[in-house]
Amino acid sequence: MSVWRAIAAAALFAAAPALLAGEIPPDARRSGYSFMGLETRAMQDDDTANPGMLFVLDGEQLWGKKTGSAEKACADCHGDARSSMKGVAARYPAIDKALARPVTLDQRINLCRANHQQATPLPYESRDLLALSAFVAHQSRGVAITAGDDPQAKPFVDQGRDLFMQREGQLNLACTNCHDDNFDKRLAGAPITQGQPTGYPLYRLEWQTLGSLERRLRSCMSGVRAQAYDYGSPELVALELYLMSRAHGLSMETPAVRP
Amino acid sequence: MARASVHIAALIAASLAFAGVARADDLAPYTIVGDGIPTSLTGSPGDAARGHALVLARTTTCILCHSGPFPETRFQGDLAPDLAGAGNRWTVSQLRLRLVDASQFNPETIMPSYYRNDGLVRVGRSFAGKPILSAAEIEDIVAYLATLRD
């Protein structure tokens, strides 16, 4: 594997100057889906069995519902999400021009609530926020990820990469130690994947609910006994952005199902 | 103004509390000789039966990465060598150093240093300043690993 990867990396060196040692070359990138058992895959593939689809349906309702003191629904500005939201999640986190920094899809939804609906922000991991982001991201199912292509995003992608490579916590492990160097192996019997962010928000059987990418990153950090960054913190946003740029070209699959 | 000083007082109180939490537990001193630590961290030998239970316990984290002669559990990792025969391959002194600070054998190792309480990044509040294992736990595990002979 590592010899093959080294050869692939060498072959790609000219084409992909941004690839650092240990990073996974584009044609070796695999969604977490490919690491799962047949049953979990079947559950993801069948919309009538995929528990994440219930959130997508809730999100569709919320999309059309007037809210806030502006009495406006998402649909009043954006129309039919099937066309207006197609491909959007594949570009997030994206730079917000006014803030001059990247914002996640969750943050974008709350910015729209504050600025256009005059509504209060939805708390992280609340059912309504997960439902809306699942509904929006679902419109990108099958679309190739391009987040991080914006040259303005570069410093934030780099910050995220540094965080990904940084050892941390009492166990002194970095994301890269598991997700670049040891995917396809087993941690306490469970498969380690490449940590690709393709399916979020996704339904995790262990959680018994839908959860955001930030929830997942925070649990990896707690796993190595590090102090997890707060939801919405610049560090988590940068990590998310790096993960998306690292998944460049993989297809979105929201809502995915994971064990 | 009054408000500001209340804030400052609160900040100071918070940072003192934090310093209290983060203060390092004292570690037993040890001396590295060659590629090992020849003397027990506690001054007495460990208990292999307790060491066996510790290696299998989730909280010690060993079998997150390692497999071994543990038919009682299927939750074993394969990021690291199988522990079967570790007692043939390594002396007690080497095993002790391996647990205390595996980076002495391989600076790039992913195996955590089990007896260390500083120089780490962003350690979670409830773990800050503490080694992963106590000296007694290390001795018990070393005693157990020494019994793993093919």
pLDDT in tens, A167-194: 999 999 999 999 999 999 999 999 999 9
Confidence at residue B14, expressed as pLDDT on a 0 to 100 scale: 40
For residue A46, give the DSSP letter.
Answer: -
pLDDT at res. B139? 98
Query: What is the distance between the alpha carbons of residues A86 and A89, in angstroms, rounded to a whole number?
Result: 8
Does the structure show a pLDDT above 70 at A251?
Answer: yes
In this prediction, residue A6 carries a pLDDT of 53
Structure tokens at A147: 């987040």
Chain A residues lying within 8 Å of B58, measured CB to CB: 188
Question: Is A259:A159 a contact under the CB 8 Å cutoff?
Answer: no
The CATH number assigned to the domain with range A26-258 reads: 1.10.760.10
Quickly state the pLDDT bin for A20 (edges 50, 70, 90).
Answer: confident
Q: Number of C-alpha atoms within 13 angstroms, CB side, residue A72?
A: 15
CA atoms of A46 and A40, how far apart (whole Å): 10
The CATH number, out of the four listed (3.40.50.300, 1.10.760.10, 3.10.290.10, 1.10.10.10), of the domain defined by the range B2-147:
1.10.760.10
As annotated, the active-site residues of A are 220
Quick one: residue A144, left, alpha or beta (phi over 0 = left, psi -120 to 50 = alpha)?
beta
CB atoms within 10 A of CB B18: 12
Tell me which amino acid residue A259 is: P
CB pair distance less than 8 Å for A171 and B132? yes
Residue A234 forms contact with B (CB below 8 Å):
no
Averaged pLDDT for residues A131-150 = 98
Q: How far is A147 from chain B (nearest CA, A)?
A: 28
Give the per-residue pLDDT at A215. Answer: 98
Domain boundaries, chain A: 26-258
With CA atoms as reference, the chain B residue closest to A221 would be B124
* Average pLDDT over every residue of A94-121: 97
pLDDT tens-digit map of A38-49: 999 999 999 999
Q: Which residue of A has its CA nearest to B133?
A: A170
Task: Report whether pLDDT(A5) > 60.
Answer: no
Six-digit token pair at A75? 């649909």
Whose tokens are 């979105």? That residue is: A252
Parse chain B into domains and list their residue ranges. Answer: 2-147
For an interface test with B, the pick among A170, A177, A181, A206 (most B C-beta atoms closer than 10 Å) comes out as: A170
Identify the pLDDT of residue B9.
39
Q: Tell me which residue in B58, B75, B124 faces A225 most closely, judged by beta carbons.
A: B124
CB contact under 8 A, B77 and A172: no
pLDDT at position B117, please?
94
Inter-chain CB proximity B123 and A189 less than 8 Å: no
Instruction: Kindly provide the residue ranges of all beta strands, DSSP E only, lying in A74-188, ordered along the sequence.
Output: 94-96, 101-103, 186-187
> Rounded to a whole number, what is the distance in Å from the CA of B71 to chain A's nearest CA?
13
Tell which wins on pLDDT, B19 or A220. A220
Contacts of B126 (CB under 8 A, 6+ apart): none
How many Cβ pairs closer than 8 A exist between chain A and B?
69
Using an 8 Å CB-CB cutoff, list chain A residues near B120: 168-170, 172
Closest CA–CA distance from residue A192 to any residue of chain B (Å):
10
**Among B73, B76, B79, which would you mutate to test the A interface (most chain A Cβ atoms within 10 Å of its Cβ)?**
B79
pTM to 2 decimal places: 0.90
Taking contacts as CB-CB distances below 8 angstroms, the residues of chain B near A168 are 120-123
Question: Which parts of chain B register pLDDT below 50?
Answer: 1-23
What confidence score (pLDDT) does residue A19 get?
A: 72
Separation between Cα atoms, residue A204 and residue A195, nearest integer Å: 14
From the list B94, B87, B102, the residue with the least C-alpha distance to B33 is B94
Our CA-based measurement puts residue A35 at a distance from the nearest CA of chain B, in whole angstroms, of 16
> A192: which chain B residues are within 8 Å (Cβ-Cβ)?
79
